[in-house]
Amino acid sequence: MAPGVILLAATPIGDAADAPPRLRRALAEADLVAAEDTRRLRALAGRLGVRVTGRLLSFHEHNEHERAPDLVRAAQDGARVLVVSDAGMPSVSDPGYRLVRVATDAGVKVSVAPGPSAVLTALAISGLATDRFCFEGFVPRKAGDRARTLGALAEEPRTMVFFESPHRLAGTLADMARTFGADRSAAVCRELTKTYEEVRRDSLAALAEWAEPGVRGEITIVVAGAPPVAARAEDHVGQVLALTDGGARLKDAAATVAARTGLGKRELYQAALERRG
């Protein structure tokens, strides 16, 4: 581990055997280890057979703002600074984002030791499309905020990945079923890489019913993106006419919108003529 560098290192999301060799070395070599929970970090180091000799410092969402400058100054003084979260990659729905900003603004090098990720693990095992996806973190707790967040995602075409607590799972799945559609495909991934790992693949409505009696463990939800909506010429005539209002010939305007939407030029041209009356 290089001096004067802040290293973000991924930790196992369940099975300690998933810890990469680079994490083991970094834990042993770091002058300063910033951990989301220092007790959990000591326990992990014990399972890995690593002795942490550097100073341990708590670094979580409630103190990240005040601790980030301290970590940056330590790196500027030549310390080897290691940052870890309880599970997975720091800064991905965990502390670290503000630290990276402060460090880069100060000219301090930040590096990453990649490793386990609940987001990618759930996505890979979900059986849903992986070519395009987005990570949405935790769904808001308040009903109004949750409704607005899910409503804004109703037409999202990419596969969506969420984190959720077990006691809110049933309610969140029910809200997703109402907003995205009861038949929308999804997967609930529970206790990934752990002894009681479980993956349920079904419609949102069926999953909400399954979760109603209660579910335990760490939860990741993967939801299929919205199905494509067939384009209609009538829905895009306004774009054609807007271009003609700007000086374009109707034929050229129809061709431009056809290229954007995949609709036929003749179809758009005719629809625009009819709209003009």
- How many domains does the chain contain in total? 3
The tokens of 130 are what?
A: 């992986």
Is the residue at 167 inside a domain?
yes
Work out the mean pLDDT of the chain and round it to a whole number. 94
User: What span, in angstroms and rounded, lies between the C-alpha atoms of 58 and 67?
Assistant: 9
Whether residues 123 and 213 fall in one domain: yes
pLDDT confidence bin for 99, thresholds 50/70/90: very high
Is the residue at 78 inside a domain?
yes
| pLDDT score for 246 | 84
| pLDDT score for 154 | 92
Which residues sit opposite 88 in a β-bridge? 11
CB-CB contact of 205 with 177 (8 Å): yes
| DSSP 8-state assignment for residue 92 | S
Out of 92, 116, 140, a domain closes at 116
Whether residues 101 and 21 fall in one domain: yes
Q: Read off the pLDDT of residues 164-206 as tens digits, 9 standing for 90 and up.
A: 999 999 999 999 999 999 999 999 999 999 999 999 999 999 9
Give the predicted TM-score (pTM) of the model. Answer: 0.82
User: What span, in angstroms and rounded, lies between the C-alpha atoms of 26 and 21?
Assistant: 9
Is the residue at 228 inside a domain?
no
| pLDDT score for 233 | 86
Instruction: Indicate if the pLDDT at residue 5 is higher than 90.
Output: yes
Q: What is the extent of the structural domain holding 216?
A: 119-223
CA distances from 162 to 135, 166, 206, 228, 253 (A): 6, 12, 18, 21, 41
Whether residues 141 and 197 fall in one domain: yes
Whether residues 133 and 107 fall in one domain: no
CB-CB contact of 130 with 124 (8 Å): yes
pLDDT confidence bin for 53, thresholds 50/70/90: very high
Whether residues 218 and 244 fall in one domain: no
Q: Read off the pLDDT of residues 130-159 as tens digits, 9 standing for 90 and up.
A: 999 999 999 999 989 999 999 999 989 999
Q: What is the torsion angle, in degrees rounded to the nearest 10, for the CA atoms of residue 137, residue 141, residue 142 and residue 146? A: 40
| pLDDT score for 261 | 83
pLDDT confidence bin for 94, thresholds 50/70/90: confident
Instruction: Indicate if the pLDDT at residue 277 is higher than 90.
Output: no
The mean per-residue pLDDT over the stretch 257-275 comes to 90
CATH code where residue 188 lies: 3.30.950.10
Whether residues 53 and 71 fall in one domain: yes
Q: What are phi and psi of 96, to 5 degrees?
A: 145, -35
Which residues sit opposite 160 in a β-bridge? 134, 223
Whether residues 13 and 101 fall in one domain: yes
Q: Residue 250: CB partners within 8 Å, gap ≥ 6?
A: 240, 244, 269, 272, 273
Whether residues 61 and 157 fall in one domain: no
